[in-house]
Amino acid sequence: MSILANRLSRIKPSATLAVTAKAKELKAVGKDIIGLGAGEPDFDTPDFIKNAAKMALDNGQTKYTNVDGTPELKDAIIAKFQRDNGLEYSRDEITVGTGGKQVLYNALMATLNPGDEVVIPAPYWVSYPDMVLLAEGEPVIVDCPAEAGFKMTGEQLEAAITPKTKWVILNTPSNPTGAGYTKDDMKALTDVLVKHPHVWVLTDDMYEHLVYGDFTFCTVAEVEPALKDRTLTVNGVSKSYSMTGWRIGYAGGPKELIKAMGKIQGQSTSNPSSVSQAAAVEALNGDQSFMKAWIEAFAGRRDLVVDMLNQCDGIECPNPEGAFYVYPSCAGCIGKTTPDGKVIETDEDFVSYLLEAEGLACVHGEAFGLSPHFRISYATSEEALKAACERIQKACASLSGQARAVA
């Protein structure tokens, strides 16, 4: 008999982490690989944040802290929510975990009973449905194709809600598409949610600061204050401060939920790293002006990638509002044949071809719930991005035969 629990058969390994690991492995054996798989900025963590961590070490902040965050970090988070989102929280409405990922996991584990439904617009970040499944809930996937800007409409949300719905998960700007909900888009959703008091909203705002052009970020409880007492506003320092490895995510929400999430964390991992928490205090309280140059760099990279991908035969790439991802369609390559004689049947075949033929690592769309697409993370140098897009152009031009119409 297997040692493994039944729940394990409900989930898959994380595709984003798998691609990142694969790219690292191939690089380590000397292959010429350009990794566009990881959702991780290439910038170094700013010095003022690193210095705060060094000081924390020197000051002996190396012991257990409160399970769900130090008072100093909670205060910095409270100030951040006030400053950026006009949201008021008290310390007992704030929780801090080991990355946004743990915060989301705690929330789902603390609230889902078997069979409870969670509405998830697709394309979604790979881990949402699997976390729901681990917590014995049922993901209810709402298809949001490129023609709809990868966004869920009020009508779609209304149709997806049942008496069993516990949560809807929103993520703007989105991983993997970069699509951002305008205030009007968001209002269309909050108007529906106001009518369904049994539905809670989990909003993953991890890419809040990474928006381009004249797009303005908004979050659920800010757009519809009446929803605040059933909204969990999740955020973190990983992407905006280039602190992926430090593992600090946080959320603001109603006391009862925050307390329950702390209970789960207290019986699993206890506090997030004390040193990382001290660094996060500085990240949130410190001078935010460094971000302007990062945002400009990301916007320039986005334009470069969108432009070059749209020159590829068989690829169509929408221009997203934020995050550091593009989510092009490779429908025009499905049915074509590679120089090795393999027919590209799926987006997974397509990304495998890019890796094998051109040493390019990116993530296939099926992992995010919408095919045939693929995700490119453009959080890397312009030079690498130019080379990567040239390789994709070459790979596409080397395909032969006709594309097959895909539904």
Binding residues (CB under 6 A) for ligand GLU: these are 14, 16-17, 38-39, 101, 125-127, 175
What's the min distance (Å) between Cβ of 54 and ligand GLU? 26
Residue at shortest CB range from ligand GLU: 39
Task: Identify which of residues 101 and 151 has a Cβ nearer to ligand GLU in the complex.
Answer: 101
Task: Identify which of residues 89 and 324 has a Cβ nearer to ligand GLU in the complex.
Answer: 324
Task: Identify which of residues 127 and 177 has a Cβ nearer to ligand GLU in the complex.
Answer: 127
399 Cβ contact partners less than 8 Å away, ≥ 6 residues apart: 313, 314, 333, 336, 337, 338, 344
Task: Identify which of residues 125 and 150 has a Cβ nearer to ligand GLU in the complex.
Answer: 125
Q: For CA atoms 109, 110, 115, 117, give the dihedral sign.
A: negative
Peptide bond into 173 cis (omega under 30): yes
Give the separation between CA 73 and CA 168, rounded to whole angstroms: 28
What's the min distance (Å) between Cβ of 155 and ligand GLU? 28
Give the separation between CA 251 and CA 80, rounded to whole angstroms: 11
Task: Identify which of residues 165 and 175 has a Cβ nearer to ligand GLU in the complex.
Answer: 175
Number of Cβ atoms within 10 Å of the Cβ of 136? 15
Least Cα distance to 169 among 185, 183, 155, 189 occurs for 189
Let me know: does 37 contact 27? Beta carbons within 8 Å: no
Let me know: does 378 contact 325? Beta carbons within 8 Å: yes
What's the min distance (Å) between Cβ of 39 and ligand GLU? 3
Task: Identify which of residues 20 and 338 has a Cβ nearer to ligand GLU in the complex.
Answer: 20
161 Cβ contact partners less than 8 Å away, ≥ 6 residues apart: 119, 168, 192, 196, 199
DSSP string computed for 353-391: HHHHHH-EE-EEGGGGT-SSBEEEE--S-HHHHHHHHHH
What's the min distance (Å) between Cβ of 124 and ligand GLU? 11
What's the min distance (Å) between Cβ of 56 and ligand GLU? 25
Using DSSP's 3-state secondary structure scheme, residue 35 falls into strand
Task: Identify which of residues 85 and 174 has a Cβ nearer to ligand GLU in the complex.
Answer: 174
Task: Identify which of residues 17 and 304 has a Cβ nearer to ligand GLU in the complex.
Answer: 17
State the DSSP code for 341: S
Give the separation between CA 370 and CA 366, rounded to whole angstroms: 6
Task: Identify which of residues 161 and 367 has a Cβ nearer to ligand GLU in the complex.
Answer: 367
Let me know: does 207 contact 322? Beta carbons within 8 Å: yes
What's the min distance (Å) between Cβ of 341 and ligand GLU? 32
Let me know: does 314 contact 336? Beta carbons within 8 Å: yes
Task: Identify which of residues 14 and 319 has a Cβ nearer to ligand GLU in the complex.
Answer: 14
Q: Where are the beta strands (DSSP E) in 164-311?
A: 165-171, 200-204, 231-236, 249-252
64 Cβ contact partners less than 8 Å away, ≥ 6 residues apart: 270, 271, 274
Let me know: does 15 contact 363? Beta carbons within 8 Å: yes
Query: Sheet holding 231-236: strands in order across?
Result: 94-97, 249-252, 231-236, 200-204, 165-171, 117-122, 138-143
Task: Identify which of residues 17 and 142 has a Cβ nearer to ligand GLU in the complex.
Answer: 17
